[in-house]
Amino acid sequence: MKTNHINLTFSSNAENVSITRLLIASVGAQLDLPLNDIEELKVAVSEAVTNAIIHGYKSNPHHIVYLDLDIVGDNLKIVVKDEGCGISNIEQAMQPAYSTDPERMGLGFVFMQSFMDELQVESTLEVGTTVTMIKHLKQTPISSH
């Protein structure tokens, strides 16, 4: 059974989104995931991190974003947490094209839901938001010819 745990803590600076994408790409390569799956994981994680930075912390780079990654057996669990302003209405926030920022497209949660097998969002106003994403790692049978 594969197991691994990675904990990454970083400033809420938008430039750090690329670091999280590199981390996910590296983990995906270690797991020997198809490139398409790696790309989808990178999008889902970067959307969660971007939401924490832009919406949770209002783009203030002087806060902390937490990313925990766990591989246990056939599951990849990624948790992105902020201690920002929180989400007042999670159901509304998860609707396509909804955004508190008129300059944003409001598709972050849509991508997370589409690319991950499970998505859970917990939030408390003025306490922060925790986004938990799970990807089931399917074993691809090797065909013998």
- Which residue numbers are catalytic? 47, 51, 104
User: What is the largest distance, in Å, between two alpha-carbon atoms of the chain?
Assistant: 58
Neighbours of 84 (CB within 10 A): 25
Residues 6+ apart with CB under 8 A from 114: 40
How far is the C-alpha of 110 from the C-alpha of 36, rounded, in Å?
17
Q: Which amino acid is at 141?
A: P
Q: Which helix (H) or strand (E) holds 50?
A: helix 35-51
